[in-house]
Amino acid sequence: MKTAIEVLDAFENIRRAQRAGIYAPHKPLLILLALARVQHGEPRLVEFTTIDAPLKQLLTEFGPSSAAKSRHYPFWHLATDGHGALWDLSGPREILKRPAGATPSLSELRDQHIKGGFPVDIYEALRHSPGLLQAVATRVLDAYFPATLHADIAATLGLELDGPNEVRDGAPAAADYANANRRRRDPGFRDRVLRAYEYRCCVCGFDLRIGHIPAGLEAAHIQWHHVGGPDIEANGLSLCALHHKLFDLGVFTVDPAEHRVIFSQHAISGGRGMAGELQFHGQPIHAPQHTDLLPAPQFLAWNTQNVFKTPARQVTTAGATPRAAR
Ligand SMILES: [Zn+2]
């Protein structure tokens, strides 16, 4: 069985494969799904078919558009990361002996009953140390997803992050690792961004205060902080808690030319529809105090490419009513 440090190192190697500015949620979501299975006492190896639907749902919700189409890639490619230290595959030899680049298709993985999971030494270490498992999960969430989404991802997976933190075999608790290697945030970022937008949500204008203190207002990174987005006003938006979460889920973005709020076609709203969220679609954001503080095109481009759920809803000019599609 691996020691806690060896297990953390094995997962750290995957993290290092992530380069600044490049964002792919496939591997981290598969790892988190596999961690949740260990936590729930499930067997070490699982057929791809069994996790196909939940993986698809995770990538659809928390990944950029069309991420779900390549959901089977990490199931195959994780096995070659770190020379097999992190992921085992089992199935017919004629499939497993293929070169790493020859990814089996979705139907091959299903029809050939290919199984995957953590290697025995990692599986046993995680199973025997709930604190270590939570530490790995926390680090993966920190490395790949903004804090606004951590609780939602964990809840979707049924992954317990801060439950009874039982420590066995002398393994350190999750909290001992959680803050390691986290990139430092500039504590002045929030203040500067909120001031730039005069302490209101630049989408809906929300500006509630408790006394003098803004309530429920947050400074969002346009290019996420943990993938290299800088702590500067041009990479920030002042958003209410709801719009911050919707922005990080890729429900809307801001177009770089006219700074209009653009909603995704995947964002569907029922009764509250046009009276609710979609009333902001196509509207310019509340501008910051100075044009120097406007969101910079390169950060908006990163957001549109990596987070926004394309395609965008059509923007019609004021007064024009789009003809109903037939
Ligand atoms: Zn808002």
What confidence score (pLDDT) does residue 91 get? 95
Classify residue 89 as left (phi > 0), alpha (psi -120 to 50) or beta. Answer: beta
Which of 5-9, 175-179, 278-282, 319-323 bottoms out in mean pLDDT, i.e. has the lowest?
A: 319-323
The yes-or-no verdict on residue 80 having pLDDT over 90 is no
276 Cα–ligand 1 center, Å:
11
pLDDT at residue 168, as a whole number? 43
CA of 97 to the centre of ligand 1 (A): 52
Let me know: does 253 contact 308? Beta carbons within 8 Å: yes
Mean of pLDDT values over 81-85: 76
What's the CA-to-centroid distance between 253 and ligand 1, angstroms?
13
Q: How far is the CA of 105 from the centre of ligand 1 (A)?
A: 42
The pLDDT confidence band at residue 105, using thresholds 50, 70 and 90, is very high
Residue 249: the pLDDT is 95
74 to 2, 20, 322: CA distances (angstroms)? 23, 20, 42
| Distance separating alpha carbons of residues 319 and 326, to the nearest angstrom | 21
More confident residue, 163 or 264: 264
CB 206 within 8 A of CB 217: yes
Write the DSSP string, 197-243: TTSS-TTT----EETTEE-SEEEEESS-GGGT--SSGGGEEEEEHHH
pLDDT higher for 316 or 46? 46
Q: What is the pLDDT of residue 119?
A: 95
Which residues is 284 bridged to in the sheet?
260
Residue 267 carries which side chain, given as an amino acid letter? A
Largest CA distance in the chain: 69
pLDDT score of 60 more than 50: yes
The stretch 96-107 carries a mean pLDDT of 90
Q: Please give the distance, rounded to the nearest whole angstrom, from the Cα atom of residue 137 to the centre of ligand 1.
A: 30
Distance 287 CA to ligand 1 centre (A): 14
User: What's the pTM?
Assistant: 0.79
In the sheet where 46-47 sits, what is the strand order?
A: 46-47, 115-117, 88-90
C-alpha R_g of the chain: 22
- Given a cut of 50, whether residue 170 has pLDDT beyond it is no
Q: Is 153 a residue whose pLDDT tops 50?
A: yes
Using a pLDDT cut of 90, give the percent of the chain over it: 59
CA of 161 to the centre of ligand 1 (A): 29
pLDDT higher at 11 or 256 = 256
Ligand 1: distance of its center to the CA of 239 in Å?
5
Average pLDDT, the chain: 86
pLDDT in tens, 191-239: 999 999 999 999 999 999 888 888 999 999 999 988 889 999 999 999 9
Does residue 150 or residue 324 have the better pLDDT?
A: 150
Residues 154, 159: Cα–Cα separation, whole Å: 5
Q: What pLDDT does residue 206 have?
A: 96
CA of 277 to the centre of ligand 1 (A): 9
* Structure-block tokens of residue 69: 């189409």
Tell me, what's the pLDDT at 318?
54
Query: What is the distance, to the nearest Å, from the Cα of residue 243 to the centroid of all Cα atoms in its chain?
Result: 16
Token pair recorded at residue 285: 């954001």
At residue 163 the predicted structure's pLDDT band, cuts being 50, 70 and 90, is low
CA of 16 to the centre of ligand 1 (A): 35
Distance 28 CA to ligand 1 centre (A): 29
Distance CA 99, CA 55 (A): 24
